Structure formats: C-alpha cells, structure tokens
Amino acid sequence: MKVKTFYDQQTATFTHVVIDGNSKKCAIIDSVLDYDQDAAKFSTESADEVIQFIKGNGLTNEWILETHIHADHITAAFYLKQHIGGKTAIGMRIKDVLKMWVPLFDQLEETPITGEQFDHLFNDGEFFKIGQLNAEVFHTPGHTPACSTYHIEDAIFVGDTLFAPKMGTARVDFPGGSAKDLYQSIQRMYQLPDDTQVYLCHDYPQEGQKPIAVTTVGEQKTKNKMLKKDTTLEEFVSVREARDKTLAVPKLILPSLQTNMRLGSFGPKAANGIQYLTIPVNVL
C-alpha cells in the first residue's frame, strides 16, 4: 500500500489517494471542490490535481470514499466520478443525516433521503477491496451519526474523528453529535496496534509549520490532549463539551451540507438556467 496525500490550504483539508502498487488500483478519501463563498463560485483545481496524479501514474480508481458529510468543505466526488470513475461510498448511517438535514434545506425532490445518490452504503464491519488491499469499515459516530473510519491494511483514515494530538478530537455539537459516542468510537481505534498509522482529514498549522497528515495509534493514546488511553468517559465528555461551547459555526457549513448530501453537486438548474444554494435563516 502507498498513500499520496494532497493538502488544500483554503479549507485545511487532506485528500488521501490509497494505492495498491501491485494492481495499480486506488481509492480517493475525502476530496475537495474549491469554493469561493464570497463570489459564490466553485472551481476544480484541487480535484484536477488528484485526477492528474491518478492518470499520470497509470492508476485505475475504484472508490471515491467519504468519511462523513463534511461541514467545512465541499466534496468533489461527483466531479471525480465523471473524470476517473469509481464507486462513491459512505457509511450506512448517512440515512440518519439525510433525514435530519434534507428537509431543512427544502430539497426533498432533488436529494434522496434513501442515500441512493451514493453507489454504495457501507455497513459497520463490512469488508471491501482496493485492488488487492484489504479494507474494513468502522462506523465511528460522535462527530456526526454517519462518520466512518476506513481501516486499510495497517492504517486507518479517520475523517474528523481524531486530529493531531496537539488538537485533540472532533467537535460533537452538531445535530446528532455525541461526546459519549465519540469516546466509544475512539476506544475502538485505540484497540489497534500502536504502530497503526492514523491518516487525518484536517490540520491547522501555525505560520511556518507544516500540516500534520498522519500520526499513529500509539502517539494518539499517549499524547492526544483530549483523549489518552487512560482518560475516563466522564473526563472526556466534560472537556469536549466545554471546548465546543467556545467554537464558532464553520464558515462553509450551509453550502457544504446541502452539496455534500449530493456528492458535491450544486443541484439542478432553475428555469433560468442558474444553480442556487439554499441558505436557511436563524436555524443554526
């Protein structure tokens, strides 16, 4: 297994391309569609970089994987599928998130709450292949009900569930979030061998520092500022919920949620030929 990581500075997001060197097949985890909120324009520079890498190295893409419905960036899944193929997939509990958020945006006619817009919905503990690589899906709720971690060979791709040890864990104050669930999800990760690599979805380095894309289970267990191996559930819930009370709403949450539930698509055009976002007022 090889991993090629791309970092989007605007949203501080890592996109990982997981490669089976023998078969030259790959999967993309947590892609990015560039979006300028002030100008209401999107571009595909980040996704095109991934496409160029895959095509330039003679790879065949099999999967476009989402760890969850992101609230801080827009996925490029629909665009990647058009250009390099691959099955789009997310955890089965996406249905809980769709039932929660689709009605809020009044988009029942264009965003199925069944999850059928994804090619595949993973069950907890489901196994799949990337070429000859062995992969297993862990449902890891807490940040959102639909969060999943992909355990591929000797690595896990954790989405927002864990950050670099200096930052701690995901927030849990979104609808359906739960500090207790997050604690239990991370305990599942902490049962893996200490040398298991932990690939992150975000990092926010200070000026002059490089973003941290990967840690290890052992490092998380001994250094994570919020949840070490001996941290109790009560201690974690107290620290996590206190921290969440100080956090602002993610800047891109409204455009991100409604588009990510459609794999990053801005939806059908109106009668005038223009696509529109829906911005509900006084609901967050």
pLDDT tens for 9-63 read 999 999 999 999 999 999 999 999 999 999 999 999 999 999 999 999 999 999 9
Q: Give the pLDDT of residue 112.
A: 96
Query: Candidates 3.40.50.300, 3.90.420.10, 3.20.20.70, 3.60.15.10; correct CATH number of 2-254?
Result: 3.60.15.10
pLDDT at 284: 84
Listing DSSP states for the chain in one string gives -EEEEEEETTTTEEEEEEEETTTTEEEEES--BEEETTTTEEE-HHHHHHHHHHHHTT-EEEEEE-SS--SSSB--HHHHHHHH--EEEEETTHHHHHHHHTTTTT-TTTS-TTSTTSSEEEPTT-EEEETTEEEEEEE--SSSTT-EEEEETTEEE-TTSB--TTT-B----STT--HHHHHHHHHHHHTS-TT-EEE-SB--PPTTPPP--EEEHHHHHHH-SS--TT--HHHHHHHHHHHHTTPPPPTTHHHHHHHHTTTT------TTS-------SS--
Q: What is the chain's pLDDT, residue by residue, as a tens digit (284 residues)?
A: 999 999 999 999 999 999 999 999 999 999 999 999 999 999 999 999 999 999 999 999 999 999 999 999 999 999 999 999 999 999 999 999 999 999 999 999 999 999 999 999 999 999 999 999 999 999 999 999 999 999 999 999 999 999 999 999 999 999 999 999 999 999 999 999 999 999 999 999 988 899 999 999 999 999 999 999 999 999 999 999 999 999 999 999 999 999 999 999 999 999 999 999 999 999 88
Q: Taking all residues of the chain, what is their mean pLDDT, rounded to a whole number?
A: 97
> Domain ranges in the chain?
2-254
